[in-house]
Amino acid sequence: MAKTYTDKLWELAAAEVLSQESGDGEDAGDAEGGEAAGERTVFLMGSKAAGKTSILLRCLDRDEAAKPTLALEYTFGRRAAGHNTPRDIAHLWELGGGTSLSDLMQIAITATSIRSLSVIVVVDLSAPCALWATLETLLQAAQFHVEQGASQARQVGKSRTGAKHRAPAPFAARVLPRNYPDRELISPFPVPLLIIGSKYDLFQELSSDKRKVVCKTLRFVAHYHAASLVFSSIKSESLMSKTKSFFSHLAFNADMGKTVSFDSTKPFIIPAGSDSLSQIGSPPMTDVDITSLHARNPKDLWKKVYERIFPPENTSEKKEVNDPAKDPQYSEQQIDAMRAQKDQELEEYKKNATKSWKGLELDT
């Protein structure tokens, strides 16, 4: 019987665990002592229903229908570097639920994976009011888990000093070249970062002034974090081709191409290091004195300006969605009905229990 995709997935996972337990993964690692040579990890996250799964499937050339991501899902991709050469492997993690399930990042972002880790954030261009909050929340969470993984890696390195196994080299956040634009004024993300603006076809329906604000702000955020920025749409083969080039560069170290586009009337294609603060300019605010916003730093200033134009959405609904059982994405009619019945029984039990305790107090 031919092996299914799931069989191959489990074989790969089992081989990785055995390699780690035997210590072979350290000797077979790359120059930084991370995952085996030719293996990389890509962590994909972003706005809810922004098309993350569809983009991932298209980048992997998989002709299958996209399904809603359940919490955190894993897959992998393989690519041959050339004839008679081992295939490069990309471990691919996708976080569902928008910002509500960010705690699950710790499963994929570990002391082992950070040595070859890249992060992709997909933001929904057609929902500008949620864009800044999504980027800020997810990037802060991802950076926290990368720093946690780095701390764990350092502890492992210390514990193995003098042991028979070679201790892996400590994780070091990426260092930008000396000639990187505005190197002293920005805050680079600790691992390679790609920001994808999805649903560009719907984004074009916004007014010209609003599109300019979103474009200019995303340019700043991407440059501030030393990230690449590309606009995409699953309805456009040309845009998906550019998106795939950026993805393949992170997943398989493939050539990213030399195409660059800063024109706000066209889809952005901006590799990390090709933009600058002088080209981006000041925040797009004309009716309010910028000095009156009392910003603590440039990023805070851009945030205040952006949220003046695109007020953030009501967070009360987001807090409610923090419980996956209340998320309509995971709804199951029979299970939800049974859950509602049990919740009602629980409330009645609490009321009866309260009455019993009050009665005991009175008797005493």
Which tokens is 9 given?
A: 């997935």
Residue 26 lies in a domain: no
Question: Is the same domain home to 62 and 195?
Answer: yes
pLDDT, tens digit, for every residue of 90-117? 999 999 988 989 999 999 999 999 999 9
Place 55 in a pLDDT band, splitting at 50, 70 and 90.
very high
Q: Is the dihedral of CA 129, 117, 244, 257 positive or negative?
A: positive
For residues 133 and 193, state if they share a domain: yes
pLDDT at 94: 97
Residue 25 is predicted with a pLDDT of 40
DSSP state of 171: P
Please state, rounded to an integer, the average pLDDT across all residues of the chain.
83
Tell me the CATH number at 77: 3.40.50.300
Are residues 94 and 139 located together in one domain of the fold? yes
Query: Do 338 and 304 lie in a common domain?
Result: no
**Highest averaged pLDDT of the listed ranges 16-20, 22-26, 40-44, 156-160:** 40-44
Note the pLDDT of residue 291: 65
Residue 145 forms part of a structural domain: yes
* Domain contains 323: no
Shared domain for 348 and 300, answered yes or no, is no
The pLDDT value given to residue 7: 54
Over residues 17-26, mean pLDDT:
46
Q: Domain for residue 325, yes or no?
A: no
Residue 110 has a pLDDT of 93
Residue 320 pLDDT > 50: no
Same domain (yes/no): 303, 336: no
Confidence of residue 28 (pLDDT cuts 50, 70, 90): very low
Residue 15 inside a domain? The answer is no
Point out the least confidently predicted range of 2-6, 9-13, 200-204: 2-6
pLDDT at 236 over 60: yes
Residue 23 has pLDDT above 50, yes or no: no
95: left (phi over 0), alpha (psi -120 to 50) or beta: beta
Q: Which has the minimum average pLDDT: 79-88, 245-254, 264-273? A: 79-88
Q: Residue 346: pLDDT band by 50, 70, 90 thresholds? A: confident
In-domain check, residue 14: no
Answer yes or no: is pLDDT of 29 > 50.
Answer: no
240 and 355 share one domain: no
Q: Is the pLDDT of residue 9 over 80?
A: no
Please tell me the total count of domains within the chain: 2
Share of the chain above pLDDT 90, in %: 55
Do 253 and 358 share a domain, yes or no? no
Residue 354: the pLDDT is: 62
Q: How far is CA 74 from CA 78, 143, 247, in A?
A: 14, 20, 16
Residue 321, classified by CB atoms within 10 Å of its CB into exposed (0-12), middle (13-18) or buried (19+), is middle
199 and 90 co-located in one domain:
yes
Question: Any residues with CB less than 8 A from the CB of 20 and at least 6 apart, and which?
Answer: 112
Asked if 254 and 356 sit in the same domain, the reply is no
One domain, residues 337 and 282: no
Is residue 21 in a domain?
Answer: no
- Our CA angle for 53, 59, 62, nearest 5°, is 75
Task: Determine, yes or no, domain membership for 184.
Answer: yes
Phi, psi dihedrals of residue 60, rounded to the nearest 5°: -95, 5
Over residues 153-203, the pLDDT tens digits come to: 888 767 665 555 555 556 777 889 999 999 999 999 999 999 999 999 999
pTM of this prediction exceeds 0.75? yes
Winning range, highest mean pLDDT, from 19-23, 74-78, 326-330, 352-356: 74-78
Whether residue 5 has pLDDT greater than 60: no
The pairing of beta strand 193-198 with beta strand 228-231: parallel
- State which residues form the domain around 219: 5-9+32-309
Are both 44 and 181 inside the same structural domain? Answer: yes
